[in-house]
Amino acid sequence: MREKISIIGAGNVGATTAQLCSTFGFGDVVLIDIAEGIAQGKALDIQQSLAILQKDCRIKGSADYADIKNSCIVVITAGFARKPGMTREDLIKANGEIIYDIAKKIPQYCPEAIVITVTNPMDVMTYLVQKVSQIPPTRVLGMGGILDSGRFKSFISNYLKISPDQIYALVIGMHGQTMVPLPRHSTVYGQPLPKIIPEEKIIDLTKRTVAGGAEIVGLLQTGSAYFAPAAAIVEMIQCILHEENKILPCSVYLQGEYNQKDIYLGAPVKLHSKGLEKIIELELTPQEIDAFRQSGDSVRSMISILQQSFFKSTENL
């Protein structure tokens, strides 16, 4: 039997992820959306594109969560995208109820699945998925660090005018304004970034990385990024399915690592077929440690908002 990957949310991120997974032949794909016809129409379009590309993969669109049954990976992209001037924090009330409902359904149909949360604010929604679904934290992951690191890599590549495959860029912490780019742990052909690029330019590149999502939102006006987020999701899925033994920055449940506990934050991790295998603890400077702590504080403040808004009497979050 081929692997089955389910994607909940047939918006731009979800549909693009479904298209990439199908084209790369990761397995059969189910695209779910509660708006009747949206997932079905996009799935039909993707299926026809696969015929043109001569790819043997089946994709199904549905509004019925029962169709995710026996999925090995479930990706959650459902929810509202940011609008201009809107922060990830603003999305808590808008997306909390949606994710809560989805997290209740997943264990009913595929309790052994690895869940990848994409919906913003991502670290908070990943925490919510785990607490509500009660799926072990090693199988509930958040996408964010790969996207932020990819943006950092892209800006470095454009500045130096060299191929991205010569660059390793790393961003950890919250997927948001308090993310922590790590120039010291980023390299160009094996050389630490500070040896290649002047400090003032590194500051410019890291600032643009932190504002990377907002920059796209501002340009689009009516939406947010989806090509790069979908690519980041696919990188995680490929690493899990093919056991590539890569170290990738993902949002994971920290239980003392980096002096953070009972919280989801981005960190370098090793993934395998069962989800999280190992969290890599990097040696950080006092300034980087403080930045990571601030990142954790931001996520905790949003978790507090989540608890006060929806779950004071329903769940112990």
What are 171-198's pLDDT values in tens digits? 999 999 999 999 999 999 999 999 999 9
Tell me the C-alpha distance between 111 and 101, whole Å: 15
Mark whether 169 and 259 lie in a shared domain: yes
Structure token digits, residue 34? 């509660």
Q: What is the pLDDT of residue 91?
A: 78
Mark whether 171 and 121 lie in a shared domain: no
The answer to the question of residue 164 being in a domain is yes
pLDDT tens, 69-128? 999 999 999 998 766 676 666 778 889 989 999 999 999 999 999 999 999 999 999 999
Residue 264: pLDDT band with limits 50, 70, 90 = very high
The answer to the question of residue 309 being in a domain is no
Mark whether 184 and 130 lie in a shared domain: no
pLDDT tens, 27-80? 999 999 999 999 999 999 999 999 999 999 999 999 999 999 999 999 999 998
**Last-in-domain residue among 115, 142, 169:** 142
Q: What is the pLDDT of residue 88?
A: 61
Catalytic: which of 175, 185, 242, 272?
Answer: 175
Question: Poorest-confidence range of 4-8, 138-142, 304-308?
Answer: 304-308
pLDDT tens, 135-162? 999 999 999 999 999 999 999 999 999 9
Is 175 marked active-site?
yes
| Neighbour count for residue 140 (Cβ, 10 Å) | 30
Tell me the C-alpha distance between 88 and 91, whole Å: 5
Say if CB 11 and CB 233 are below 8 A apart: no
Number of domains forming the structure of the chain = 2
**Last-in-domain residue among 98, 118, 142:** 142
Mark whether 94 and 159 lie in a shared domain: no
**Last-in-domain residue among 142, 170, 186:** 142
Structure token digits, residue 38? 């949206």
pTM strictly above 0.85: yes
Task: Give the structural domain span for 87.
Answer: 4-142
Mark whether 8 and 123 lie in a shared domain: yes
Mean pLDDT value across the chain: 94
- Residue whose entry in the numeric block shows the structure tokens 């169709």: 67
